[in-house]
Amino acid sequence: MGVLKEYYFDDFEVGKEFVTGGRTVTEAVVTNFAGVSGDMHKLHLNKDYGKTTIFGKNIAHGLCVLAVASGEIVQTGILENVMAFFSMQDWRFMSPVFFDDTIRVKIKVLEKRESSKKDRGTITLALEIINQMGEIVQKGQWVVMVSRRGN
């Protein structure tokens, strides 16, 4: 569900939760990511090899899934006023994402910190990337710098 409004530092409340829309991670998405990243590992692209793995088929790159999730978060509008991405903390890859799985992201505001500069602050967000079966496939925290309203 999209937020449809720009969030400034002032608008974030600790404990507030958001959920993105869903996006299907197709074979084309994975192939395009492989081309952009240069990661052509056979685990992602070779169907015969994929059948021999513990997964029994090809899986999406973990970073591809993270990139798709990032795009879903941006589309909500809550990061429209981010000035800088500071860090990812305790990021975990929990389960594979297969071709044609649909992911969405649950976001929770964990912390707000005022900055010594009055035009910004930092927000810590807890993220869970969830597949269509409700399983958490990746999780962790992002810390971002966000503009204050009127600056």
The residue that leads in pLDDT, 3 or 90, is: 90
pLDDT value at 14 more than 50: yes
* pLDDT range class, residue 26, cuts 50, 70, 90: very high
Please give the share of the chain, as a percent, with pLDDT higher than 70.
97
pLDDT value at 5 more than 90: no
Which are the contacts of 70, defined by CB distance < 8 A and separation ≥ 6?
A: none
Mean pLDDT estimate for the chain: 94
pLDDT value at 133 more than 50: yes
Quote the pTM value. 0.93
Q: What is the dihedral of CA 50, 52, 56, 57, to 10 degrees?
A: 10
pLDDT value at 110 more than 60: yes
Average pLDDT for residues 59-78, to the nearest whole number?
Answer: 96
Q: Where does residue 67 fall: left (phi above 0), alpha (psi -120 to 50 degrees), or beta otherwise?
A: alpha
- pLDDT for residue 1: 46
Average pLDDT for residues 18-46, to the nearest whole number?
Answer: 97
CATH of 9-147, one of 3.10.129.10, 3.30.2290.10, 3.40.228.10, 3.40.50.300: 3.10.129.10
Domain boundaries, the chain: 9-147
